[in-house]
Each structure stands twice: as C-alpha cells, then as structure tokens.
Amino acid sequence: MLVSALLMSVGINSCLCVLLFILYSVLRKQPHNYEVFLPRRLVAGTSKRRRNKVARYIPSVRWIWKSFKPSEQQLMESSGLDGVVFMRMITFSLKVFLFAGIIGVFVLLPVNCFGDQLIQIDYADWSANSLDLFSVANLKIRSKWLWVHFGAIYLVTAFVCCLLYLEFRYIGLKRIEHFHSSKPQPQQFTILVRNVPSSDGSSVSDTVDKFFRENHSSTYMSHVVIHRTSKLRSIVDNAKKLYKKVKQKKPEHGQVRKPPMRFFSRKDTPEGHYEKVLQEMEHNIRLGQAEVSSPGKEVRAAFVSFESRYGAAMALHMPQSINPTYWLTEPAPEPHDVHWPFFSASFMQKWLAKIVIVFACLLLTVLFLVPVVLVQGLTNLSALEYFFPFLTLILSMKIVSQIITGYLPSLILQTSLKIVPPIMEFLSSIQGHICHSDIQKSACNKVIWFTIWNVFFATVFSGSAFYKLSVILDPKEILVKLAVAVPAQASFFIAYVVTTGWTDTLTELFRVVPFMVSYVKRSLEPTEEDNELEVPPMRYHRDTPRVLFFGLLGITYFFLAPLILPFILLYFVLAYIIYRNQFINVYEPKYDTGGMFWPMIHYTMIFSLVLMHAIAIGLFALKKMELATYLLVPLPVFTLLFNEFCRKRFMPIFTAYPAEVLTKRDKEDQIDPRMSEFYSKLVTAYQDPALLPLRFNSLSGSNSLTSPLLSSSEV
C-alpha cells in the first residue's frame, strides 16, 4: 500500500465522518426521530418534543460537548456499574494509545524511516512511498536501532500492566462502593440451590425447608421452589401478545377514540372473536397454573432467602452435604435477570445442550470465513460482469471499480460479522446459564474470540503459508512464522481501522434498523403516536468485543507499524464521544453484571500483550538479534505472572462479597425501619412470572383476579 492510497482513504473517511456527524446533529433534532435517538430522555421526561423551530435544521456540535459532561457518578446512576466499566475500557485505551502513540510516532517512526533495508525514501514525492518504509521491516538485520524497539516494548508493557493493575483495583473498589450504596436487593439475601436430593414421600419444597431449618436455623427465612413451566409460559406469552393487540384496537374507558387512518378496515379485526379466544386462553392458564403448582411438576432447585446478607453468604460458601453433588449453591441473580426457561430442562437435556453448543461455537468460529470468502469472491470484476452484464459500462470506470474491489469485500465481511453477536447470544441462551447477564457475559466472551480468530488470525493466515498444520507442532517455528506473517498485514489493518473502525462506530450512532423501522411505521400510520415507547437495553456483548479488537490491533502493531497508532487513537476518541452519547440518550441497563465485564477486558489485554511479545521474539530472531531475543523471553513470563497475581488479588471481589462488607451493610439495615417491608417483598421476589396472577383486567374493566378475565357483558 502506498502513502497516497492511505491518504486518500483517510481523506474519504474523514469527510464521511464529518458528513455523518452533521447529518446526525440535524436528524436527532427532528421530533419524529426522538424515539430513535433519545428514547431514554423521552421516557425519563427530561426531553420534550419541540416543534416548528428553524434551529432544528441547523447542524450543531453542542451534543458532542454534552456527552463529555456527565461525571462518573452520574454515569453510575444512569447506566450502572457496567456502563462505567465500558467507558473506563475506552478511557483506558485512550491513555494507552496516547502513551504508545507518542513513543510510536516520535521515536519508532523516525527510526524506521531512516532504516535502509528497503529502498530509500523518496523525499521528493512523499505520497509515492510504500507504507512498509514506516514499519520495522525497513530496519536491516542486526541493526542497532532495533534496541530502541526493544526498549519501547518493555516500556509499553510496563505502562499497560501498571494501568491494568490500577484499573482492576479501581473497579474492584467501585464494586464494593456500589454494594455499599445500593438499596437492599433480593439477590443479596438469596441463594440458588440446585440438585436437591429426592426424599421419599416429601415434596422438594418440604425437603428444602427441612434442610435449611435444620442446618441454617439462625438465618433461614423462606424459599421458592422452581416449577416446570415451559408449556404454560408459551400459553401466557401468546395470551399477552393477543391482549396487546386487542387493547390497541379498543378505546380506553371514557375516551372517545378518533378513527385512525389505516390501510386495513375494521372488518379485518374481529375483536369479538379475539376476546373470546383470550377468555379461553385465560381459563387454560388458570388450569395450567394450578397443575404446575403441584409437587409433581417441581424442579429439584429452589431460591432460598435469608434474613441477612451474611446468612446468605454463609450458606453459599459452606459445603452443604456429605455427598458434594447434592445441595449445590450459587449466588442468586436479580429477580428480573433470571432466565426461567432453562430450569425446565432435564439434566440430560442441559448436558447435551452444553456439549452441542460448545461444538457449534467452535465450528462457527472456525468455518465462518468459508461462505464469506465465497461471497466476497463474487465481488471481483469479472464475476460481476458475468452475473450482471448490464453493469459492464459502469464497471469499466476506474473509480467505480476501485471502490468495488476496495470496499465491497470488507463491507461484506463487516456485514456478516454483524450477524454473529445475535447468533452467539442465542447459543449462549440455550447453553445452561440461569440468568440473562451470564448469557451476555458468555456471548461477549464468544464474540471476542470469534473476532480475534476470524479477523486477526484469518487475515494473517490467509496472507501467508501459515495454515500448514505441520508448523503448529514446532513452537519455535510458530513465532518466526508469526513474525513474518503479522507485519505483512500491517497496511491492511491500518486501512481497516480507518475504513471500518471509524465509520462503523458512527453508524452505531444512527441506529440504522430502528431508524428504518420508525420511518416505515410513520409512513404507514403517520398521525398515530407510539403508545409504548421501549427503551432498548444495553448490549455490551455486541460492543465490547469490537472495541477490544481495536485495542488488540493497536497493541500488536505498536512497534511493528507505529503508523497505526494515531488512527487507533482517533478511533477511541470517536468511540468515546459516541458511546457516552448510545448511554445518555438511548440505552438503559436492564440488569447489571456488577462490572463482571472487566476481568474479560483484562484478560484480552493480557492476551494482546503476550501476542505482541511472541511476535517480537520471532521478529528479533529473524533479525538475528540473539541477545535481544533471549532478553525478551522473560517479558511474557512476567506478564503472565502479573496476570496470575491480579487474578489472585482482585478476582475474589468479583466472585463474592467479603464478610466485612456484608456485616457492615447488615448492621446498617438493622436500624432501618423499612426492612420489614423489604422482607415481605423478598418472600415473593423470586416467583416465576408464568405463575403470577394475570392482569388483563384493564381491558375488561373488572378488578377481580379470580373472575374470568373478559366478562361476557363487556364483549
């Protein structure tokens, strides 16, 4: 790749960025777009739909400055600890690449330029130089300048490790602080017990009650046994959908509904028929609920609540039974975070699901590229001309063909990558996690490794003869091969950061799919206001891997091609602005993992560092710097030891709260008069939603829960 090509790409994409920024700043001020761009503020009531002002057609930059405004405390309040962790990941990357960028651009880049391994720099025409001139490839074998790179690697590793340590400690403390400042919450007082042993004659409920009354008598309070409700749940879900449909078409009591403009006439919606069906369903649900509540439908698991956090922790940490495969305890998730369907599965189903999914993920990760590469193959010019003969004329234009061959393949790859997070989320959801936040975490982990494998390694492998399996068996050979293959892809990844990184993050700002949906809706029923405005939940498992991947790229290429650093830095600046904005205005946390994303981020960073070291060792061996090669070996070892230390030092805070924190909170509660109210709520907090009484009565006007849902007089 030549400097001119890079400059053109940077130019195009910078213009695109500015254009998109301007477009967004106008679009977001249109009232009918509020529900797409500002749903959170709309629901919270902090933003009103202003109409008919000229100002809303003039682009502004105030929203950019606004996104810098909220403090971390405010972010914590609005987006939870997960939001804080996500933003700290971006500021962490900013710090790292500011430091690495200064070293890279002002020290390593000049050193590389003045090497003379490749042809001399053409000072007359800068843009005609190859990008390789700026990379470490330009240094001669046994060049003394390589020691500068050696020092830079040590320096940056030390800097990143220090920062990682400080961040891990900070987030650990934030977790404790968050716990201290939080209201009493059901999950703090509750544990989940699984594998309750079966005892003849008594129900699971009795067994649980007897066991905890005997062994944890001082703190045990109540329990909720889980029931097999998968069939009932599908009936309830259908009924709810139907109810929503019927309700939308019926006016509220005492309110005269003006007939909306619609494409379908009223005859198409036989409301009477619907309501009869609803009535029938509701009857079925009552019957089903009664049937499910019988001991025969009990799952051998229960949520057990205690009088204090200390009591719950005690039961959580202590081995319970002589047979350690019974009475397995684990922390309870938040009540609305529970993933109920999973409890219904039998042990064998769970076990099989787990194995199948692990294989499915591996297969997807390894084989994903095959169809994508095939489709990409279609984008070369001759294939296009063969399938679409009428395009021949357009394709013969030089700029069009350049754009098609340059952009289309990476666009296809990027689009296909977009479908991966939902797939991974689905796979994680049937893998056996008992709560949504665990599913998110697991999906995030899967997507991280998927991205690293399918973008980083696949690019590196395909660019060299690396894929020969025989190479894998010789560990020393791998490093040298990596050192050859990874730098060769430097210019590809620089272009990748500029094209995909910048614009892809910006398109996130536009929420393209919701925007289109809202546009289509308005064109269908232009006057109807949307009654139920839904604030979309945060989806860290989709965004975290992408951000982390650019961090990995930056660290890996830090000394190989320092030219990448300013672009990575710019990417993180963009990401900072945009994500602080997808948090304040749009997304809302549905449940909090309590900062559990940080260990994942930490491990990915450590992986990036060790990958960089491995490539460095291979490169120094290639450049015949024996001493430097041996002196580099301790670096990954120390990095891994540091990782182990961090794991020992901080991970316990992320798995369970320590006794001193629990007792402090418990003591504060003792003097709180609101606790008795909390306890009465706690008893029913973990009720399966499928077993809750139905509340369709606003439609029929009847308040009684025992009477039929839709009384015949109303219909």
3-class SS of residue 306: strand
Q: Which stretch binds a second copy (CB under 8 A): 10-18, 101-109, 285-293, 313-321?
A: 313-321
Tokens 């007939």 belong to residue: 259
Q: Which stretch binds a second copy (CB under 8 A): 31-39, 615-623, 660-668, 682-690?
A: 660-668
Minimum distance, C-beta of residue 320 to a second copy, in the bound complex (Å) = 5
Closer to a second copy by Cβ: residue 272 or 319: 319
Q: Which stretch binds a second copy (CB under 8 A): 322-330, 350-358, 440-448, 505-513?
A: 322-330
Q: What is the CA radius of gyration of the chain?
A: 30
Site string for a second copy, 191-230 (x = CB under 8 A): --------------------x--xxxxx------------
**Smallest Cα–Cα separation from 328: which of 337, 336, 319?**
319
All residues at 6 or more sequence positions from 577 whose CB lies less than 8 Å from its CB, including other chains: 64, 67, 68
Give the residue, chosen from 48, 53, 245, 317, that forms a contact with a second copy under the rule CB under 8 A: 317
The phi and psi torsions of 193 (rounded to 5 degrees) equal -110, 130
Adjacent-strand bridge partners of 435: 338
Cα-Cα-Cα-Cα dihedral sign, residues 536, 538, 541, 544 = positive
Closer to a second copy by Cβ: residue 40 or 309: 309
Minimum distance, C-beta of residue 70 to a second copy, in the bound complex (Å) = 27
Residue 642 binds to a second copy (criterion: CB under 8 A): no
Cα separations in angstroms, 319 against 195, 236, 258, 299, 333: 13, 38, 65, 21, 20
- Spatial separation of the C-alpha atoms in residues 150 and 104, rounded to whole Å: 12
Minimum distance, C-beta of residue 431 to a second copy, in the bound complex (Å) = 20
Contact in structure between 487 and 619 (CB atoms under 8 Å): yes
Closer to a second copy by Cβ: residue 44 or 656: 656
Residue 523 binds to a second copy (criterion: CB under 8 A): no
Q: Which stretch binds a second copy (CB under 8 A): 160-168, 298-306, 310-318, 483-491?
A: 310-318
3-class SS of residue 194: strand
Minimum distance, C-beta of residue 435 to a second copy, in the bound complex (Å) = 21
Adjacent-strand bridge partners of 306: 220
Give the residue, chosen from 45, 254, 259, 319, that forms a contact with a second copy under the rule CB under 8 A: 319
Minimum distance, C-beta of residue 75 to a second copy, in the bound complex (Å) = 23
Instruction: Classify residue 514 as exposed, middle or buried by CB count within 10 Å of its CB (0-12, 13-18, 19+).
Output: middle
Give the residue, chosen from 151, 537, 634, 658, that forms a contact with a second copy under the rule CB under 8 A: 658
Q: Which stretch binds a second copy (CB under 8 A): 404-412, 525-533, 538-546, 658-666?
A: 658-666
- Spatial separation of the C-alpha atoms in residues 198 and 205, rounded to whole Å: 11
Q: Which stretch binds a second copy (CB under 8 A): 133-141, 316-324, 374-382, 503-511?
A: 316-324
Residue 320 binds to a second copy (criterion: CB under 8 A): yes
Closer to a second copy by Cβ: residue 326 or 576: 326
Rounded to a whole number, what is the distance in angstroms from the first to the last CA of the chain?
Answer: 73
Closer to a second copy by Cβ: residue 60 or 663: 663
Tokens 């949520």 belong to residue: 303
All residues at 6 or more sequence positions from 391 whose CB lies less than 8 Å from its CB, including other chains: 384, 385
Give the residue, chosen from 52, 71, 255, 323, that forms a contact with a second copy under the rule CB under 8 A: 323
**Smallest Cα–Cα separation from 304: which of 315, 319, 292, 317?**
315
- Spatial separation of the C-alpha atoms in residues 103 and 156, rounded to whole Å: 9
Helix axis angle for 634-655 and 597-622, nearest 10°, is 180
Taking the CA atoms of residue 312, residue 317, residue 321 and residue 325 in that order, the dihedral angle to the nearest 10 degrees is 110
Minimum distance, C-beta of residue 9 to a second copy, in the bound complex (Å) = 47
Residue 649 binds to a second copy (criterion: CB under 8 A): yes
Q: Which stretch binds a second copy (CB under 8 A): 59-67, 124-132, 368-376, 649-657?
A: 649-657
Closer to a second copy by Cβ: residue 464 or 663: 663
Give the residue, chosen from 110, 270, 324, 371, that forms a contact with a second copy under the rule CB under 8 A: 324
Count of residues engaged in binding a second copy, rule: CB under 8 A: 34
Residue 659 binds to a second copy (criterion: CB under 8 A): yes
Q: Which stretch binds a second copy (CB under 8 A): 16-24, 58-66, 452-460, 647-655?
A: 647-655
Site string for a second copy, 152-191 (x = CB under 8 A): --------------------xx--x---------------
Residue 325 binds to a second copy (criterion: CB under 8 A): yes
Residue 314 binds to a second copy (criterion: CB under 8 A): yes
Query: What token pair was written down for 162?
Result: 């220090």
Q: Where are the alpha helices (DSSP H) in 55-191?
A: 62-68, 72-103, 109-113, 146-181
Give the residue, chosen from 31, 59, 260, 652, that forms a contact with a second copy under the rule CB under 8 A: 652
- Spatial separation of the C-alpha atoms in residues 454 and 466, rounded to whole Å: 15
Site string for a second copy, 13-52 (x = CB under 8 A): ----------------------------------------
Give the residue, chosen from 318, 355, 358, 633, that forms a contact with a second copy under the rule CB under 8 A: 318
Contacts of a second copy in 78-137 (CB under 8 A) = none
- CB count in 10 Å sphere of residue 13: 20
Tokens 């309750």 belong to residue: 196
Residue 648 binds to a second copy (criterion: CB under 8 A): yes
Q: Which stretch binds a second copy (CB under 8 A): 318-326, 379-387, 437-445, 670-678?
A: 318-326
Minimum distance, C-beta of residue 629 to a second copy, in the bound complex (Å) = 21
Give the residue, chosen from 36, 208, 302, 313, that forms a contact with a second copy under the rule CB under 8 A: 313
Give the residue, chosen from 482, 661, 690, 691, that forms a contact with a second copy under the rule CB under 8 A: 661
* Helix, strand, coil shares, percent, the chain, to 5: 70, 5, 25
Contact in structure between 567 and 553 (CB atoms under 8 Å): no
Closer to a second copy by Cβ: residue 652 or 689: 652
Instruction: Classify residue 468 as exposed, middle or buried by CB count within 10 Å of its CB (0-12, 13-18, 19+).
Output: exposed
Closer to a second copy by Cβ: residue 405 or 663: 663
The phi and psi torsions of 236 (rounded to 5 degrees) equal -60, -45
- Spatial separation of the C-alpha atoms in residues 106 and 100, rounded to whole Å: 10
Minimum distance, C-beta of residue 478 to a second copy, in the bound complex (Å) = 15
**Smallest Cα–Cα separation from 338: which of 396, 308, 299?**
299
Query: What token pair was written down for 612?
Result: 């960089």
Minimum distance, C-beta of residue 322 to a second copy, in the bound complex (Å) = 6
DSSP count for the chain of H helices, then E strands: 33, 4
Query: How many C-alpha atoms does 225 have within 13 Å on its Cβ side?
Result: 20
Where do contacts with a second copy occur on this chain (CB under 8 A)?
A: 172-173, 176, 211, 214-218, 313-315, 317-325, 648-653, 656-661, 663
